[in-house]
Chain A
């Protein structure tokens, strides 16, 4: 039971790699099997163009996962850098940063990402830009708060009085203390970015046809729900299992690394 989330995640990753290795792209059209329920040839059934839902689910998972990892890396790097500088230097820089983040946080939930994606236009690159533009703020806030209190720790002050440069201080003495909270935060953000990506693709702002994405598949699934309920159900359950696995893994990491909930 305890290892279930990790196992589920590994199964997904393994299946994605296998799909990649055997070059399963899910774009083969079988017009004799439109919206077919699960059967021997297509274990998860087919979609409205007769494409294998299994293949498309795997491809969609891969796209979603890659985007989540890349966006997390970018938003975390930018957010941590900005947060460290603001928290460490304080004063005017800090004030300005807090103003800017306040403005970003005044847009609830995914609204800002929707707005950016809307004006940038659809497509994977623009989708990632939109997610990055709206995602760095929470990291900046988190890091700033931590840096603010860590700045006054004795080992930091000691190293400062020994003449350590600021970059050295930040990287060698403050960042390591932040690492566990950042690892936990990054795990949760993988899940939330996958959700955000799927939301945008659901609205038609993300990944474009014929490429597979869970958001677009869910939208099509809703469209054909009356004739082919398996479609929306399978994509829905896939999404749920992966998101749950990642979030539960985040919980376990949090307990293990002893990070108190913010």
Chain B
């Protein structure tokens, strides 16, 4: 476990370095891009000073790290608000959305996967598999507008966008959740089919257990283990998916903050959002690995 934690260090360091360097691949002078042509020389110098851009690169990276260590992500160029405040105001909305999407994904995906596996080879399996394989390939910016058109414009069941009503979360959560459920369906099906061929299932059947007990108590328990990993990995794409989904549905989370900051060329905010999403992803992956080791004692030796 300690080893696993230590192996994260270079990745985290790399993520920090790459996000830090983002500001330095801006073509030309980042200060000029951010402030525009009309800014006075004094204003530019002040911003350059504030961002530490006139120091050597290594010094800049050092002070970037030490500020991060103190929880200081800098200030927004436009509103002068500390970025930490912006993030903490927006992050809960994203978490809420991601969490609900995860639940939707699980509730649809796992039963459907079990169903497909039990009907393996029949037409029901064929339909479920085709739909799930193809759904997972459709991007959020496609699914979102389609759901919006169907449920909000034509059927009028839910608000089109915004965050004013409790039902507003449904469409963005469905958009993210459907994509996840498609992947979960596929994985549950494959995993369950594999387990159903195992010796211990034959033993369970030979003992005379009824089929339901065999499936639920024996097969599913083993089959759902790999699902933990998939869910963990998918949480990451869920976080990235929120960037587009939040923009479509005007959901004020961190993804929308990222897009807004890009539009305003507020690079420090962009940088901080990218860092936050990437670090959340790394942490979720780590948590998944650790959880997996807890659930499956066989893995411990490897770690």
Contacts and interface: CB of A to CB of B under 8 A. Distances in A.
Interface of A: 99-100, 102-104, 106-111, 114-116, 118-121, 191, 195, 198-199, 202-205, 215, 218-219, 221-222, 225-226, 229, 232-233, 236, 239-240, 243-244, 247
A110 B262 CA distance: 15
Given A103-B18, A218-B142, 14 more contacts: A99-B11, A100-B14, A103-B10, A103-B14, A106-B11, A107-B15, A108-B236, A108-B237, A114-B262, A115-B274, A119-B22, A218-B145, A222-B248, A247-B134
Contact of A199 (B244, B262, B277): B244
A109 B278 contact: no
A218 B139 CA distance: 12
B142 A236 contact: yes
A119 B137 contact: no
B142 A114 contact: no
Contact of B241 (A109, A119, A215, A222): A109
A236 B145 contact: yes
Contacts of A203: 243-244, 247, 259, 262
A234 to B, nearest CB: 11
B141 A218 contact: yes
Nearest to A118: B262
Instruction: State the main secondary structure of chain B at its contact with A.
Output: helix
B153 interface: yes
A205 B262 CA distance: 9
Contact of B240 (A104, A109, A222): A109
B218 to A, nearest CB: 27
A199 B141 contact: yes
Contacts of B154: 229
B251 to A, nearest CB: 14
A107 B278 contact: yes
Interface stretch (B23-31, B69-77, B85-93, B108-116): B23-31
Nearest to B24: A119
Contact of B267 (A119, A205, A218): A119
B278 A108 contact: yes
Contacts of B27: 120-121
Interface string B271-283: 0001001100110
Contact of B243 (A114, A121, A240): A114
Nearest to A102: B11
Interface string B258-274: 11001100010010001
A239 B142 contact: yes
Interface residues of B, number: 47
B149 interface: yes
Given A99-B10, A102-B10, A244-B134, A107 B281 contact: yes
A124 B11 CA distance: 31
A199 B255 CA distance: 13
A102 B14 contact: yes
Residue among A107, A119, A199 having the largest count of chain B Cβ atoms under 10 Å: A119
Given A103-B11, A106-B15, A111 B278 contact: yes
Nearest to B30: A119
Nearest to A251: B133
Nearest to B280: A108
A188 to B, nearest CB: 9
Contact of A243 (B15, B137, B146): B137
Contact of A244 (B19, B137, B237, B263): B137
A225 B149 contact: yes
Given A111-B243, A114-B258, A247-B137, A221 B145 contact: yes
A115 B270 CA distance: 8
A100 B14 CA distance: 8
A205 B22 CA distance: 16
Contacts of A107: 15, 18, 240, 274, 277-278, 281
Contacts of B25: 116, 119-120
A111 B274 contact: yes
B146 A236 contact: yes
B277 A108 contact: yes
B183 interface: no
A111 B145 contact: no
Nearest to B284: A108
Contacts of A229: 149, 153-154
A106 B18 CA distance: 11
Contacts of A108: 236-237, 239-240, 277-278, 281
A240 B237 contact: no
